Amino acid sequence: MLSEENAVLYCKICKSPTTLLYNEMHDDRYGYPEQYSVNKCSSCNFAEINPIPSSEVLESIYTDYYPRKAMTADDVKATADNFSRKPNSDKNNLQGEKNKCHSYITAGSKVLDIGCGNGVSLLEITKLGGDAYGTELDKNIKPIADELNLEIHFGDIDTMPYPDDFFDFITMSQLIEHIPDPKDFLIKISKKLKVGGKIILSTPNIESANAKRTEKKWINWHIPYHVNFFSQKSINVLAKETGFKVLKSETTTPMGWVALQYLTNKKERVSLGNKETIWQPRPKNMNTLEYIKYLSFKEFSLRVLALLNSYFTIPAWRIRDKAGKGESFIVFLEKA
């Protein structure tokens, strides 16, 4: 009998055998103290972590390790008030920030944003003329949702109260990489879409320039919160098998991601069970000068360099984006 370690694992998307890409991977942001390996499909390049965390582990890492921004209803409103940019504005094209899925919806449509967090996206959908609905697992958001009168279902998609064939758009920004069974997930949410309705999703690109050259330091491994990593081919197979047509799929690289990757490259990889300062939120009520002191001058200088680097490399990233080597996919699927 094969031991579990030596057993061949098969790709969740196309069923081909996978091979080990990296072992000894761990949470290099928030310090969850377990190790995982990454296995990659030899045919479609989809990758997943091994083992896939159980639902108990997933619940615990999001509750006990993942930092939540403490936002008030006023903060949420203020953020949404500043939202006026169109996804294809010059500024977004320049900065590579085209992966905010709900910004592509059309006025007069019914829109479900899965994993809507504090509800900023729902206010922005309303601003774009859409009828906004959301789902979110984190019940801490409920008081904000009540205060802002947002239509949010707290719970998983199996218990959503929305009728079948109801939505024109389902959006999910940087979500599918967190879902242990993406195929089952798409089949389930597809029922809630009208025929001809669209899914707009964004997710990291495992074939991006940085995924290749930064190896274990790639910021989008984000293990074990991310369990799946997609290539263009795996997206195509997944869409086909779940009854969707790929209308458009392109890559885009947000400048913020470039800066975070630069910072990560310049620092030692944190060891198992430790937190990386890059990912810790700025303590509340700390002014900039106090924050520089808190970070150390060296760390602050690195952040300035990272920001400059992200500006200088804009032209190179826009070329990579066009070649499909950008850091994030933005994918438009249509229910057949």
Please identify, using beta-carbon distances, which residue of 41 and 152 lies nearer to Zn ion. Answer: 41
Report CA-CA distances (Å) from 29 to 89, 243, 300, 310: 32, 36, 18, 21
**CA distances in angstroms from 133 to 71, 149, 162, 221, listed in the order given:** 20, 11, 9, 29
- Closer residue to Zn ion (CB): 43 or 60: 43
CA dihedral defined by 219, 222, 228, 230, rounded to 10 degrees? -10
Mapped onto helix, strand or coil, the DSSP state of residue 163 is: coil
**11 vs 114 by CB, closer to Zn ion:** 11
Q: What's the closest the beta carbon of residue 203 comes to Zn ion, in angstroms? A: 15
- What is the CA 241 to chain-centroid distance, rounded? 22
d(CA 304, CA 308): 6
Least gap, CB of 230 to Zn ion (angstroms): 10
Note the maximum CA span of the chain: 61
Cβ count near 139 (within 10 Å): 11
Token pair in block for residue 234: 């795996």
Rounded distance between C-alpha atoms, residue 250 and residue 232, angstroms: 9
Min dist CB 55 to Zn ion, Å, is 24
> Could you tell me the smallest distance in angstroms from the CB atom of residue 201 to Zn ion?
18
CA pair distance 110, 117, nearest whole angstrom: 18
Give the residue with the Cβ less far from Zn ion, 13 or 76.
13
Write down the least CB distance from residue 224 to Zn ion, Å.
21
Q: Read off the DSSP letter of residue 328.
A: E
User: In the chain, what is the straight-line distance between the N-terminal and C-terminal CA atoms, in Å?
Assistant: 43
Distance (Å, whole) CA 142 – CA 150: 9
The CA distance from 71 to 215, in Å, is 34
CB of 17 to Zn ion, least distance (A): 9
Task: Identify which of residues 9 and 307 has a Cβ nearer to Zn ion in the complex.
Answer: 9
Q: Is the Cβ of residue 44 or residue 172 nearer to Zn ion in the bound state?
A: 44
The partner residues of 246 in beta bridges, in order of sequence, read 333
Comparing CB distances to Zn ion, the nearer of 246 and 272 is 246
Interface residues toward Zn ion, by CB under 5 A: 11, 13-14, 16, 41, 43-44, 46
Residue 159 one-letter amino acid: T
CA dihedral sign, ordered 164, 165, 169, 175: positive
Nearer to Zn ion, 1 or 7 (CB): 7
CA distance 73 to 104: 24
By beta-carbon proximity to Zn ion, the closer residue of 306 and 331 is: 331
